[in-house]
Structure 1
Amino acid sequence: MAKKRAGGGLSPVQLAARFLGVSVLAGGVLAGIALPGVGALGLATKGTVKEFDEIPADLKRPPLTQRSKILDAKGGEIATVFYRDRTVVDRKDMSPYVQKALVAIEDSRFYEHGAIDLKGVLRAVNQNAQSGGVAQGASTLTQQYVKNVFIEEAGDDPDKVAQATQQTMGRKIQELKYAIQIEKELGKKKILENYLNITFFGQGAYGVEAASQRYFSKHAKDLTLDQSALLAGIVQSPTRYDPVNDPQEATQRRNTVLRRMAETHSITAAESKAAQAKPLGLKVTPQRSGCITASRGAGFFCDYVEHVFLSDPAFGKTKDDRLALWKRGGLTIQTTLDPQAQDSLQQSLSKHVYKTDRVTAAGTLVEPGTGKILAMGQATPYGTGKNQTLINYNVDHSMGGSNYGFQTGSTFKPFVAAAAIDKGMPPTKEYPSPYKMDYPSPVTTCEGTYTNNDGATVHNENESEKGPYVMKEAMAKSINTYFVSLISEVGICPVTQMTDKLHVIMGNGQKLPQQPSISLGSATLSPLTLSSAYAAFASRGTYCTPVAINSVTGMNGKPVPVPKSECQRAMSEKTADSISTLLNGVIDSGTGKEAGLGDRPSAGKTGTTDKRKNAWFAGYTPNLAAAVWVGSASQEVEMHDITIGGVYQEYVYGGQVPGPIWRDAMTGALAGKPTQNFHLVDIPDAKKKDKKKPGDKPDDNGGRGDDKPDNGGFVFGNGGDQGGRPSNPGQGNGDQGNGNGGNGNGQGGWFG
Structure 2
Amino acid sequence: MSALCGLLAAGLIFPLAASGGAAVSTGTELLEDIPTELEEEPLSVPSHIYASDGTTEIATFYAENRQPVTMDEISENMVDAILAIEDERFYEHGGVDPRGVSRALVNNLTSDSQQGASTITQQYVNNMLINAVVLTGEGRLTISGTGEKTYADKLREMKLAVAVEQEMTKEEILEGYLNIVLLGGRNYGVEAAAQFYWGVPASELSISQSAVLAGMVQSPNGYNPAVNPEASKDRRDIVLGAMLENEAITQEEYEEAIAEDLGVEEIYPEETGCVSASMGPYFCDYVRREILASDTFGPDEDSREELLNRGGLRITTTLDPDAQQAAQTEVDATVPSDDNSGAGAAITSVEPGSGNIIAMAQNRNYTPEDGDGNTTLNYNVDSDVGGGNGWQPGSSLKPFVVAAYLEEGGSTDDVVDASPDEWADTQRWEASCLERGYTTTDGPWEVENVEEDSNRRMTIDYGVYFSVNTATLATATEMDLCAITDVTDRLGIHLATDTDQGLSPQNPSFVLGTDNVAPLTQAAAYATFADDGNFCEPRALLEVTDTHGNEYDVPEEDCEQVIDEEIVAQVNDITINIAEGTIAAGNPPFPMAGKTGTTDDAVHTWFVGYSSGVSTASWIGNPEGNENGYRESMINGQYYEDFYGSTLAAPMWLDYMEQVGDDYDTSDFREADDSPFDDRRDRSRYSGGGELPDDDEAINSRDSDGDDD
Q: Shared fold (TM-score greater than 0.5)?
A: yes
Give the direction of change, closer, same or farther, for the CA distance of 1:320–1:596 in structure 2 (3 Å limit): farther
Distance (whole Å) between structure 1 residues aligned to residue 477 and residue 542 of structure 2: 43
Q: Which amino acid is the alignment partner of residue 525 of structure 1? A: V
% identical aligned pairs: 35
Give the direction of change, closer, same or farther, for the CA distance of 1:52–1:137 in structure 2 (3 Å limit): same
Distance (whole Å) between structure 2 residues aligned to residue 701 and residue 187 of structure 1: 79
Distance (whole Å) between structure 2 residues aligned to residue 563 and residue 480 of structure 1: 39
Tell me by how many angstroms 1:479 deviates: 1.3
Matched, 1:565 2:557: yes
Q: Which amino acid is the alignment partner of residue 679 of structure 1? A: R
Tell me by how many angstroms 1:336 deviates: 1.7
Deviates more, 1:300-309 or 1:483-492: 483-492
**1:689-711 deviations in Å (ceiling 9; x for gaps):** 9969796799x954545543443
Give the direction of change, closer, same or farther, for the CA distance of 1:37–1:235 in structure 2 (3 Å limit): farther
**1:79-99 deviations in Å (ceiling 9; x for gaps):** 231222110000110111111
Query: In 2, are the aligned partners of 1:81 and 1:289 still within 8 Å (CA)?
Result: yes
Matched, 1:142 2:125: no
Matched, 1:623 2:613: yes
Query: In 2, are the aligned partners of 1:594 and 1:659 still within 8 Å (CA)?
Result: no
Matched, 1:544 2:536: yes
1:241-260 → structure 2 map (5 Å cutoff): 241-260=223-242
1:228-239 → structure 2 map (5 Å cutoff): 228-239=210-221
Match of 2:375 in 1: 389
Equivalent residue for 1:663, pick from 654, 669, 672? 654
1:173-322 → structure 2 map (5 Å cutoff): 173-282=155-264, 283-295=266-278, 297-322=279-304
Match of 1:151 in 2: 130
Tell me by how many angstroms 1:428 deviates: 2.6
Matched, 1:113 2:93: yes
Distance (whole Å) between structure 2 residues aligned to residue 39 and residue 687 of structure 1: 102
Distance (whole Å) between structure 2 residues aligned to residue 368 and residue 626 of structure 1: 10
Query: In 2, are the aligned partners of 1:430 and 1:469 still within 8 Å (CA)?
Result: yes
Query: In 2, are the aligned partners of 1:104 and 1:257 still within 8 Å (CA)?
Result: yes
Tell me by how many angstroms 1:452 deviates: 2.4
Give the direction of change, closer, same or farther, for the CA distance of 1:292–1:703 in structure 2 (3 Å limit): closer
Secondary structure of 1:45's partner?
helix
Give the direction of change, closer, same or farther, for the CA distance of 1:652–1:690 in structure 2 (3 Å limit): closer
Equivalent residue for 2:439, pick from 450, 455, 462? 450
Matched, 1:708 2:697: no
Q: Which amino acid is the alignment partner of residue 653 of structure 1? A: Y
Matched, 1:124 2:104: yes
Query: In 1, are the aligned partners of 2:580 and 2:588 still within 8 Å (CA)?
Result: no
Query: In 2, are the aligned partners of 1:596 and 1:663 still within 8 Å (CA)?
Result: no
Deviates more, 1:554-563 or 1:372-381: 554-563
Distance (whole Å) between structure 1 residues aligned to residue 367 and residue 546 of structure 2: 28
Q: Which amino acid is the alignment partner of residue 65 of structure 1? A: S
Secondary structure of 1:171's partner?
helix
Q: Which amino acid is the alignment partner of residue 129 of structure 2? A: F
Distance (whole Å) between structure 1 residues aligned to residue 433 and residue 10 of structure 2: 81
Q: Which amino acid is the alignment partner of residue 628 of structure 1? A: S
Q: Which amino acid is the alignment partner of residue 117 of structure 1? A: D
**1:651-709 deviations in Å (ceiling 9; x for gaps):** 211012100011011110023655311113244379999969796799x9545455434
**1:297-324 deviations in Å (ceiling 9; x for gaps):** 4222222222222223443454344323
Match of 2:484 in 1: 495
1:318-337 → structure 2 map (5 Å cutoff): 318-337=300-319
Tell me by how many angstroms 1:124 deviates: 2.6
Deviates more, 1:144-153 or 1:202-211: 144-153
Give the direction of change, closer, same or farther, for the CA distance of 1:416–1:59 in structure 2 (3 Å limit): farther
Distance (whole Å) between structure 2 residues aligned to residue 595 and residue 661 of structure 1: 14
Deviates more, 1:549-558 or 1:229-238: 549-558
Match of 2:410 in 1: 425
Q: Which amino acid is the alignment partner of residue 422 of structure 1? A: E
Match of 1:745 in 2: none
**1:580-636 deviations in Å (ceiling 9; x for gaps):** 1121122345xx535766152211000011111110000111121100110122135
Secondary structure of 1:242's partner?
coil
Give the direction of change, closer, same or farther, for the CA distance of 1:484–1:130 in structure 2 (3 Å limit): farther
Deviates more, 1:52-61 or 1:107-116: 52-61
Match of 2:680 in 1: none
Q: Which amino acid is the alignment partner of residue 185 of structure 1? A: E
5+ residue gaps, structure 2, are 678-682
Distance (whole Å) between structure 1 residues aligned to residue 153 and residue 556 of structure 2: 47
Distance (whole Å) between structure 2 residues aligned to residue 412 and residue 145 of structure 1: 63
Query: In 2, are the aligned partners of 1:68 and 1:331 still within 8 Å (CA)?
Result: yes
Q: Which amino acid is the alignment partner of residue 205 of structure 2? A: L
Give the direction of change, closer, same or farther, for the CA distance of 1:271–1:369 in structure 2 (3 Å limit): same
Q: Which amino acid is the alignment partner of residue 347 of structure 2? A: G
Distance (whole Å) between structure 1 residues aligned to residue 702 and residue 166 of structure 2: 78
Query: In 2, are the aligned partners of 1:373 and 1:547 still within 8 Å (CA)?
Result: yes
Distance (whole Å) between structure 1 residues aligned to residue 125 and residue 270 of structure 2: 27
Distance (whole Å) between structure 1 residues aligned to residue 21 and residue 598 of structure 2: 74
Distance (whole Å) between structure 1 residues aligned to residue 377 and residue 20 of structure 2: 56
Distance (whole Å) between structure 1 residues aligned to residue 434 and residue 11 of structure 2: 78
Query: In 2, are the aligned partners of 1:595 and 1:660 still within 8 Å (CA)?
Result: no
Query: In 2, are the aligned partners of 1:456 and 1:712 still within 8 Å (CA)?
Result: no
Distance (whole Å) between structure 1 residues aligned to residue 36 and residue 629 of structure 2: 69
Secondary structure of 2:82's partner?
helix
Give the direction of change, closer, same or farther, for the CA distance of 1:652–1:160 in structure 2 (3 Å limit): farther
5+ residue gaps, structure 1, are 1-10, 24-32, 714-752
Query: In 1, are the aligned partners of 2:580 and 2:587 still within 8 Å (CA)?
Result: no
Tell me by how many angstroms 1:162 deviates: 5.9
Query: In 1, are the aligned partners of 2:599 and 2:708 still within 8 Å (CA)?
Result: no
Matched, 1:482 2:471: yes
Query: In 2, are the aligned partners of 1:79 and 1:290 still within 8 Å (CA)?
Result: no
Query: In 1, are the aligned partners of 2:4 and 2:98 still within 8 Å (CA)?
Result: no
Matched, 1:400 2:425: no
1:718-737 → structure 2 map (5 Å cutoff): none
Q: Which amino acid is the alignment partner of residue 289 of structure 1? A: T
Secondary structure of 1:513's partner?
coil
Distance (whole Å) between structure 1 residues aligned to residue 445 and residue 462 of structure 2: 25
Secondary structure of 1:232's partner?
helix
Aligned length: 684
Equivalent residue for 2:600, pick from 610, 626, 632? 610
**1:457-513 deviations in Å (ceiling 9; x for gaps):** 323234521121221001101111222233343323222222222111121124123
Equivalent residue for 2:344, pick from 336, 360, 363? 360
Query: In 1, are the aligned partners of 2:352 and 2:527 still within 8 Å (CA)?
Result: yes
1:156-175 → structure 2 map (5 Å cutoff): 165=144, 167-175=149-157
Distance (whole Å) between structure 2 residues aligned to residue 37 and residue 446 of structure 1: 83
Give the root-mean-square deviation of aligned CA atoms: 3.3
Distance (whole Å) between structure 2 residues aligned to residue 292 and residue 35 of structure 1: 56
Give the direction of change, closer, same or farther, for the CA distance of 1:348–1:535 in structure 2 (3 Å limit): same
Tell me by how many angstroms 1:131 deviates: 9.4
Secondary structure of 1:618's partner?
strand
Deviates more, 1:409-418 or 1:632-641: 632-641
Give the direction of change, closer, same or farther, for the CA distance of 1:647–1:712 in structure 2 (3 Å limit): closer
Distance (whole Å) between structure 2 residues aligned to residue 131 and residue 436 of structure 1: 98
Secondary structure of 1:524's partner?
coil
Secondary structure of 1:231's partner?
helix
Secondary structure of 1:469's partner?
strand
Tell me by how many angstroms 1:447 deviates: 2.9
- State the TM-score, normalized to the length of structure 2: 0.88
